[in-house]
């Protein structure tokens, strides 16, 4: 492509992206689409389901996709996952992901559409994520003839500790996808704004549990016992030194002990104590080092106090999450699309967070980009944080998420349509 042809291409691309983004946002805000999304979001919110149990949510998604005439598959894909397709069926393929699972929490918000399931609640906004992806699907289907490739919609189970993204990848349904985008609602970011960054955005995370065993006895004669509570206390203090004295101060890490169980009487030293917690880091090397040192510290400090310790990292039940690292090229693409859609002042850089996100599994194999979507309205009540029993969704944010999803995918296909020879990677052949 000649220099002037290249300039013309990018001028046309930027103009198309600008007009397309504005059009998508107008469509998402139209009463037909907005009211439809609100109805879906509230129905999902009323019927929360935990990881790998999202059967009703999956059925609702498939019903809505069927009404829109969008093909999908769900059999034998991560238990409850739904993978849908819009476009030509040819490469390039770009994916959009939404997580479906709720949390084991009792909702404390009193409103007409609160959770109908005791002890379960959408306290992390996944009901909104599903709704926004369905909104994007509705918009993209209306513009299907304009798509220069295929958009793959990923409705994923079990983000909250279950590693649903890993099972999606193991099913092989994203093998020819060349980029993937995901979002998360942010209650502390103004509505109509987004925040993200290139490179590490969220930490890798793991969990640990240790049983420290001594010798129980009467609290009045401690010399006849081997006290596992004292041993566990020394273990916890020593674990904090891993970050304060062994980690590079410029390499953010976290070790938190959040579980301590042992004994049920005031005057009895128990035979054993169980502690547990989480550890986080932004690089695989730091994460691996933390894991090794956590085990060494627990077993070593327990031995100093004449106790035995067995450490379990629970990787089967709670898979280790890699760091969430945004692709540099996709960062620029995101900024271009989001600035066209929202305005330059509405697209900002965020600080990395020590929270974890299983979107990171996709990013290990596919160039990926994850961002935060604001929903705070200063004129309304202050929104509670994620994972709070008082968490609320500002439904006015739904159109922004739907439009961003649609714009990111369609403009990606337009920009990269010449990167893959025509006719390769038809989804109906490979999926």
218 is an annotated ligand-binding site residue: no
Strand order in the sheet with 308-312: 253-261, 272-281, 204-213, 308-312
Identify which of 347, 325, 346, 350 has the alpha carbon closest to the alpha carbon of residue 335.
Answer: 347
Round to whole Å and give the CA distance between 375 and 192.
7
Give strand pairing partners of 14: none
112 is an annotated ligand-binding site residue: no
Q: Are 82 and 61 in contact (CB under 8 A)?
A: yes
Question: Is 138 in a helix, a strand, or coil?
Answer: helix
Q: Are 255 and 235 in contact (CB under 8 A)?
A: no
144 is an annotated ligand-binding site residue: no
424 is an annotated ligand-binding site residue: no
Q: Interior CA angle at 82 toward 78 and 88, to 5°? A: 125
Where on the phi/psi map is residue 410: left (φ > 0), alpha (ψ -120 to 50), or beta? alpha
160 is an annotated ligand-binding site residue: yes
Q: Which two tokens stand for residue 291?
A: 């894991």
Residue 109 phi/psi, 5-degree rounding, is -85, 125
Question: Is 310 in a helix, a strand, or coil?
Answer: strand
Binding residue ranges for Mn(2+): 124, 126, 160, 184, 387
Residues belonging to the binding site are 124, 126, 160, 184, 387
């Amino acid at each position: 492509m000649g220099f002037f042809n290249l300039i013309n291409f990018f001028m046309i691309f930027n103009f198309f992206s600008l007009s397309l983004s504005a059009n998508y946002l107008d469509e998402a805000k139209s009463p037909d689409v907005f009211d439809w999304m609100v109805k879906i979001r509230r129905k999902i919110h009323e019927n929360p389901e935990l990881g790998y149990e999202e059967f009703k949510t999956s059925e609702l998604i498939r019903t809505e996709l069927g009404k829109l005439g969008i093909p999908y598959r769900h059999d034998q894909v991560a238990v409850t996952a739904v993978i849908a397709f819009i476009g030509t069926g040819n490469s390039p393929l770009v994916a959009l992901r939404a997580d479906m699972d709720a949390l084991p929490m009792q909702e404390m918000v009193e409103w007409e559409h609160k959770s109908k399931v005791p002890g379960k609640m959408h306290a992390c906004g996944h009901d909104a994520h599903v709704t926004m992806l369905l909104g994007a699907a509705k918009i993209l289907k209306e513009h299907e003839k304009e798509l220069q490739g295929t958009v793959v919609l990923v409705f994923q189970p079990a983000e909250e500790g279950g590693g649903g993204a890993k099972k999606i990848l193991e099913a092989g349904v994203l093998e020819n996808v060349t980029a993937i985008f995901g979002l998360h609602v942010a209650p502390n970011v103004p509505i109509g704004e987004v925040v993200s960054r290139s490179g590490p955005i969220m930490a890798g995370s793991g969990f640990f549990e240790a049983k420290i065993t001594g010798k129980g006895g009467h609290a009045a004669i401690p010399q006849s016992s081997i006290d596992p509570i004292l041993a566990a206390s020394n273990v916890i203090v020593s674990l904090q030194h891993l970050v304060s004295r062994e980690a590079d101060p410029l390499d953010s890490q976290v070790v938190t002990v959040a579980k301590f169980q042992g004994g049920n009487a005031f005057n009895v030293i128990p035979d054993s104590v169980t502690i547990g917690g989480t550890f986080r880091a932004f690089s695989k090397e730091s994460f691996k080092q933390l894991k090794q040192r956590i085990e060494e510290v627990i077993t070593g400090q327990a031995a100093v106090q004449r106790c035995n310790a067995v450490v379990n990292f629970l990787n089967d039940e709670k898979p280790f999450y890699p760091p969430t690292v945004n692709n540099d090229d996709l960062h620029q693409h995101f900024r271009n699309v989001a600035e066209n859609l929202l305005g330059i002042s509405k697209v900002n850089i965020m600080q990395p967070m020590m929270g974890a996100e299983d979107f990171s599994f996709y990013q290990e194999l596919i160039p990926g980009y994850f961002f935060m979507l604001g929903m705070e309205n200063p004129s309304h009540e202050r929104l509670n944080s994620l994972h709070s029993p008082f968490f609320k969704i500002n439904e006015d944010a739904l159109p922004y998420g739907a439009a961003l999803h649609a714009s990111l995918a369609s403009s990606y296909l337009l920009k990269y349509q010449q990167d893959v020879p025509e006719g390769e990677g038809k989804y109906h052949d490979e999926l």
